[in-house]
Amino acid sequence: MQNSAGDTFEYEDLAALYRVEKKSPSLSAVRRDLYPSMAKLLKGLNAEYMKQLSADPDSLVCEGINQRRKKARQISKEIIEQRMQKICSLALRGAMGAQNVIEQLTSEEKDYYNEVLNASKRHASILTHLSGERKYESVHLDEVPEPKKDTAKVAAPASAPTVQPVKETVLTTEDDFPIPLEAEFGDGDFAPEADFAKEDAAFAAEPPKKMQDAATGDRILIRILEDLPEFSGPDRDYRLSREDVVMMPKVMADALVNRGKAVCLHPAA
């Protein structure tokens, strides 16, 4: 339903527009001054109600005008909401790339459409904005500007310093050669391998006295006071627990007694 701008807009016109908007999924064509006309209608109904209220507030006519006034306000609100939903859907499709025809919209609705369209486009590219991505446009080769040539004279590179050749010393006489080890220590006297072999043989024949004492020296009887980890002695491995009684070399027994790990049961023989 479409009336020309300037025509009267009555309550019946408002009700007819409401029925059309409610049934149609798309925007219907309306008069260009729809919103000013609805506002003028509501203003006139309010004035009529106030006039009748002053004359006879208890009359049925006053009550009828009041109900008509309330109904007109409710219908106007629903018409605006229905058209807003349709305009939003239209703007969303436009933000996705659709080509919309908005000639049937009023000037107020066109402003609303453009605001929703721009907001939808901004929101559609929110990930690109937040991630910092940039859109690149392809550039034709003939559009790339040529680099400016530097007309300044390029200084000639400095000449490299002359490297003087190193004179090589050649040994020509007997005095120039190093003295051999045999000449320094004497002929036949420098034989470290033989000396080391002699020392090893002497060590094997007669080990140090401390090691002899540990293996064949005095032994004493001790009692173990706590569990001990396994350890090796000169003649055997020891795995001792609390209350064990064992005979062992005096050197090892003294070490355990001094540390509080054992007590002596028999003096040294």
Tens digit of each residue's pLDDT (9 = 90 or more) over 222-235 = 999 999 988 877 77
- DSSP 8-state class, residue 135: -
Rounded distance between C-alpha atoms, residue 230 and residue 157, angstroms:
79
CATH topology of domain 11-131: Methane Monooxygenase Hydroxylase; Chain G, domain 1 (1.20.58)
Where do you find CATH 1.20.58.1030 in the chain?
11-131
The model's confidence at residue 161, banded by pLDDT at 50, 70 and 90, is low
CATH topology of domain 206-266: Ribosomal Protein L9; domain 1 (3.40.5)
State the pairing for strand pair 245-249/219-224: antiparallel
Rounded distance between C-alpha atoms, residue 225 and residue 256, angstroms:
10
Rounded distance between C-alpha atoms, residue 87 and residue 79, angstroms:
12
Query: How many CA within 13 A on the CB side of residue 198?
Result: 5
The model's confidence at residue 237, banded by pLDDT at 50, 70 and 90, is confident
Average pLDDT, the chain: 77
- The pTM score is 0.48
Rounded distance between C-alpha atoms, residue 97 and residue 105, angstroms:
19
Where do you find CATH 3.40.5.50 in the chain?
206-266
User: Tell me: the pLDDT tens digits for 167-189?
Assistant: 544 444 444 444 444 444 444 44
